């Protein structure tokens, strides 16, 4: 006596519930992967776009009430922005801070800026530059 098979004939009644669940998981993984890729691309784009201005302090000279700093600024043509400069006294106390704006079509700007201080500054520190 032979036993009849209890499975369904192959290809006759569509996919099994396990195959449908596997397909749904694959679709969900593709959608989530695409969303993650788009999110990483978005942050990478904004990180690159917002770094349009860079600068460095070449030299500085201080008196009891001012610090004159020679800044070299590199920026995209036509973009506007500002750099924040601060000075500290010998004991580390901040004695001055100011933003200096840069506009125009030049891509390289050498400028001596004057930072007013409340006491004699011993540093001229560039905190950062931003577009806008």
Instruction: For 84-124, give the DSSP string.
Output: EEEEE-TTS-EEEEEEEEE-SS-SEEEEEEEEE-SS-----
> pLDDT of 79-99, one tens digit each?
888 999 999 999 999 999 999
Please give the share of the chain, as a percent, with pLDDT higher than 90.
Answer: 55
Closest CA to 127 of 78, 69, 49: 69
Please give the share of the chain, as a percent, with pLDDT higher than 70.
Answer: 84
Please, what sign has the CA dihedral across residues 33, 35, 36, 40? positive
On whether the CB atoms of residues 115 and 79 are closer than 8 A, the answer is no
pTM higher than 0.85: no
CATH class assigned to 53-131: mainly beta
**Domains in the chain: boundaries:** 15-50, 53-131
Q: Assess whether pLDDT exceeds 90 at residue 123.
A: yes
Measure the CA–CA gap between 6 and 70, rounded to whole angstroms.
87
């Amino acid at each position: 006596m032979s036993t009849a098979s209890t499975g369904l004939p192959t290809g006759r009644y569509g996919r099994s519930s396990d195959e449908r669940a596997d397909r749904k998981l694959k679709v969900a993984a593709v959608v989530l992967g695409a969303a993650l890729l788009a999110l990483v691309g978005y942050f990478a784009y904004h990180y690159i776009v917002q770094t349009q201005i860079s600068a460095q302090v070449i030299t500085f000279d201080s008196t009891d009430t001012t610090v004159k700093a020679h800044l070299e600024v590199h920026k995209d043509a036509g973009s506007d922005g500002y750099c924040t400069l601060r000075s500290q006294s010998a004991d580390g106390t901040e004695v001055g801070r100011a933003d200096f704006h840069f506009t125009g079509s030049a891509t390289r700007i050498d400028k001596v800026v004057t930072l007013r201080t409340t006491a004699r500054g011993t540093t001229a520190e560039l905190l950062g530059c931003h577009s806008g």
